[in-house]
Each structure stands twice: as C-alpha cells, then as structure tokens.
A and B are shown apart, each in its own frame.
Chain A
Amino acid sequence: MASIDTGGGDSGHKKGPGVKKAKKMSTRIDMTPMVDLGFLLITFFIFTTTLSSPATMDLYMPKDTDKDEEQNKAKQSGALTILLAKNNTAYYYEGELAPDGSNFKSVKFSELRKVIMDKKKEVMSRYVKDAACEQEKIQKGKDPDDCKQEDLVVVIKPDKEATYKNTVDILDEMTINKVNRFALVDISPVEEDLIAATEQSGGQ
C-alpha cells in the first residue's frame, strides 16, 4: 500500500551472452509504520502546543501619600468617576458626587465604553487651542491631539465585589479610548453605601 514506487523493471538493455543477470530485489519499502508514527507525533504536538503566547499590560500605580498638598487635584469639569460592582454592573458620576446622589448613575459594564467616549468628546469640545502644548507634544513625538484631553481624568474605583477581569477590562478601556490620565483608587464608604442602596432598590 504505502510504498515508494521505483517503477522497477526492464530497462531494455540487451545483455550479451554469458552476462549473468543479477537477481532483481524489490526496492519497495513498506512505509506504513513510518506514517503511523508520523501522525502520532503530529497529534501529540498539536495537543501540547500553546499557540497564543500571553501578552502583558503595563500598570503604573501612584505612590501612596498622606499629605494633602501632594495629591493631584482633578478639575471638576473633566473628572469622571467609575465604580465597579458585582455582576458586571458599574456606576459612574461626572465631577463631584452630589450630596443627594442625584448624578450617580447605574450602567451595564459593557456600556461603559460609550460613557467614556461621550465624556471624552465633551471635554475635547471645550478645548481652547493651546499652541504651546501642541508644540511640545510634537517635539516629544506624541500625538498633538492629546492636548485636547488635558482636563480629562478618569477615576476607577472597584468595590470589594468587583472582579479582577472587570478591573483589567476597564484599564484596557483606557488604552482603547486613549485616555491619558486615569487612576485606580480605593472606594469611599459614601460610594459603597450608594451602591448598596441602588442594588437593593433595583432588586438585585
């Protein structure tokens, strides 16, 4: 069956009388075992191989500081705070949290991208041309459009029920939406209470 065909045979040379004819041995080899072994190895390597090697994502954390004056203050108008809670839900508010919680909104995790994009657009629409800043970015080889979002700061606060996946995903959203300034911050008790209250009233 599996064999090399040597096309053996009479090559038509006339031998003179007295020339002894060598006995023709077949040069065909049965290749079946070799093929078997070959496929066995292929199967083995297909199963053991890991094709997609993992990548890494950079994360820079700020130094913890107690001193108030060392902390960066975010501009009210450009701040967006995102709170991550359980079951892929998220909450957000723009600027500072209103004492009555009126600007505290609930959103599905998958819809957060739109919230971030809208906020970014809004901040960029308020941009007043800053030639010095744009010049500087070009000199450093960066995108001059970055100046437009100078005021935008996204604050990410996962609560204790948030998963690691959601945390990484939201950090990834920052890369996807090219948000340059964002911070991973601990949640405050007021916000935790608000989440708990919303979850209860929402029947979750």
Chain B
Amino acid sequence: MPSVKIPKKSTDVDMTPFVDVAFLILTFFIMATKFKPPEVAEITIPNSVSTKLLPDNDAVMVSLDSTGRVFFEMLVQADPQLKYKVISNLNTTRNLNLTEAEMQRFMKKVPAVGVPFSGLKQYLSLSDDEMKRVKLEGIPTNDSLGGELYYWVRDAVSVMAGKKINYLIKGDNNAKYPAFKNVLAAFKKNDIYKFNLVTSPEGVPSGSDLDLFQKKQSTVKK
C-alpha cells in the first residue's frame, strides 16, 4: 500500500527585507552616534528649558561633582597646542618643575585637570592605567579668590586671546551651592561674568508665561 505522501514544504523564509531594515537601522546609528568623551567624574546635570546647543570648541569647562571636587578642562580640539601653552605658562609662573616630556604628556593624555599644582608632577609621572584609576582630589577653590582655579582660568584666557571663549560650568545635581560660588569667584576674579551652565533640555511647562509667549510668537509668524 502506498503511504500517504505529505508534500514537503520548504521552511526557507526570505529574510532579505528583514536584513534590509536591519542595515538601515545600523546605518542610522552609525551616522547619529557621537562618542562620549572620557569623563573624569560621574556628573548628573540638572534640567532646564533652555535649548541652546553646547559649544564644543573654544571653550573652558569647569566641572563640579557631587562631593564638591572641581575639574578644569579646555575644549580645544581644533588647536591642542593651546593646552601646551597653558601648562608651560603655569610651569614657569607657578614653579611646577615639569619637564618637557611631562608637559607634552599633559597636552596629549590629560583631558581634565583634577589635581592641585603641588600634585601635578607626581600625577604626570603615573602610567596611563594608573592615571585612570587614581582618585583625584580636585582643584582647590576654597578661598574667596577662587584658589588655584583662578590661575588655570587666567592662563587659558590669555592663550586663547582674540577668540570668543565660552565658559561652561557643568555641575552635579547634588553639588552644594558654596562649591558653585567658589567656581564663580574664580571666574569673577578674571573679570568674566557671562557663563553657560550645562543642562539637559526639558519641555516648557504648559500654561507658564514662557509657554504662552512662545505660542503667541508662533501665531504671529504664521
């Protein structure tokens, strides 16, 4: 007796459209991605309704973490030599006793400074791995003149003379106000009164005056 033949159906699925979509998404992410620069300290920034974009060149950034440690950073990808100029200036004015090699290393390897002047030489003598692991104590700011941060800002401003510099302050949500005040004092002593606070954008609360104003503006435009 002939057995009933079950017709063999192919289990092949045509995956081509699926693969197409997958690669489309992949392309999007590759295009849209921007790698995070390495950060010295974990900082959660507060929210604000401001939507102005963060300038990422020709800027001086002071970070303030939750325990009140202060870090100084120069955002000068376009001209890294500026960092070298700052450190060599400070080397002579503050008697840091840095060698040429150490200053080169500072320019290339140190994204943000988080040590007092007295600890800078020792910090620069560490290996790359140790540099990442070592616990930084932050730049001293705790006097009414802005502490050592004043000198960092002063020299950064002098080497970037002629450019429009943005002064960014990136503070942690839980940082205390006096720490922030000390940072402001360091800038004020350099006659800098205009700052950009780094925040993450959030929506304008509906019904507030700003919301009403923006709506009025957009109807006028239409």
A113 contacts chain B at the CB level, 8 A cutoff: yes
Residues of B within 8 A of A45 (CB): 26, 29-30, 33
Tell me how far the C-beta of B176 lies from the nearest C-beta in chain A, rounded to whole angstroms.
6
Beyond A56-B53, A176-B209, whether A35 also contacts B201 by CB under 8 A is no
Tell me how far the C-beta of A58 lies from the nearest C-beta in chain B, rounded to whole angstroms.
6
A35-B22, A45-B33 known, 16 other contacts, Cβ within 8 Å: A1-B13, A4-B16, A38-B26, A42-B25, A53-B54, A55-B51, A55-B53, A56-B50, A57-B196, A59-B195, A117-B209, A163-B176, A164-B173, A172-B50, A177-B210, A178-B209
B129 contacts chain A at the CB level, 8 A cutoff: no
Chain A 34-59 per-residue mask, 1 if CB under 8 angstroms from chain B, else 0? 11001101100110111111111111
Contact B201 A52 (CB under 8 A): yes
Chain B 1-14 per-residue mask, 1 if CB under 8 angstroms from chain A, else 0? 00000000001111
- 5 nearest CB pairs, A to B: A45-B29, A56-B196, A165-B173, A164-B175, A158-B177
A130 contacts chain B at the CB level, 8 A cutoff: no
Residues of B within 8 A of A176 (CB): 49, 204-205, 208-211
In Å, the complex CA distance between A191 and B201 comes to 33
Chain B interface, >50% SS class: mixed
Contact A1 B12 (CB under 8 A): yes
Please name 17 pairs of A and B residues whose Cβ atoms are closer than 8 Å in the assembled complex, sorted by A: A2-B15, A39-B22, A41-B30, A54-B198, A54-B201, A55-B48, A56-B50, A56-B196, A56-B199, A58-B195, A61-B193, A164-B177, A167-B177, A169-B47, A172-B50, A177-B209, A177-B210
In Å, the complex CA distance between A52 and B198 comes to 13
Closest A residue to B175 using CB positions: A164
A160 contacts chain B at the CB level, 8 A cutoff: yes
A107 contacts chain B at the CB level, 8 A cutoff: no
Contact B32 A41 (CB under 8 A): no
Contact A167 B33 (CB under 8 A): no
Tell me how far the C-beta of A31 lies from the nearest C-beta in chain B, rounded to whole angstroms.
6
B38 contacts chain A at the CB level, 8 A cutoff: no
Tell me how far the C-beta of B33 lies from the nearest C-beta in chain A, rounded to whole angstroms.
4
Contact of A57 among B13, B36, B199 (CB under 8 A): B199
Residues of A within 8 A of B32 (CB): 49, 51
Residues of B within 8 A of A61 (CB): 184, 188, 193-195
Interface residues on B, range: 35 or more
Interface residues on A, range: 35 or more
Chain A 151-169 per-residue mask, 1 if CB under 8 angstroms from chain B, else 0? 0000000111111110111
In Å, the complex CA distance between A84 and B29 comes to 42
Contact B19 A31 (CB under 8 A): yes
In Å, the complex CA distance between A98 and B63 comes to 39
Contact A57 B50 (CB under 8 A): yes
Contact of B29 among A49, A54, A161 (CB under 8 A): A49
Residues of A within 8 A of B47 (CB): 169, 172
Closest B residue to A179 using CB positions: B209
Tell me how far the C-beta of B7 lies from the nearest C-beta in chain A, rounded to whole angstroms.
18
Residues of A within 8 A of B48 (CB): 55, 57, 168-169, 171-172, 175
A64 contacts chain B at the CB level, 8 A cutoff: yes
Residues of B within 8 A of A59 (CB): 169, 194-197
In Å, the complex CA distance between A175 and B204 comes to 10
In Å, the complex CA distance between A158 and B14 comes to 65
B84 contacts chain A at the CB level, 8 A cutoff: no
- Most B CB within 10 A of own CB, among A53, A63, A165: A165
In Å, the complex CA distance between A163 and B171 comes to 10
In Å, the complex CA distance between A68 and B172 comes to 35
Contact A38 B22 (CB under 8 A): yes
Residues of B within 8 A of A171 (CB): 48, 197
A100 contacts chain B at the CB level, 8 A cutoff: no
Contact A42 B208 (CB under 8 A): no
Residues of B within 8 A of A164 (CB): 46, 64, 171-177, 179-180
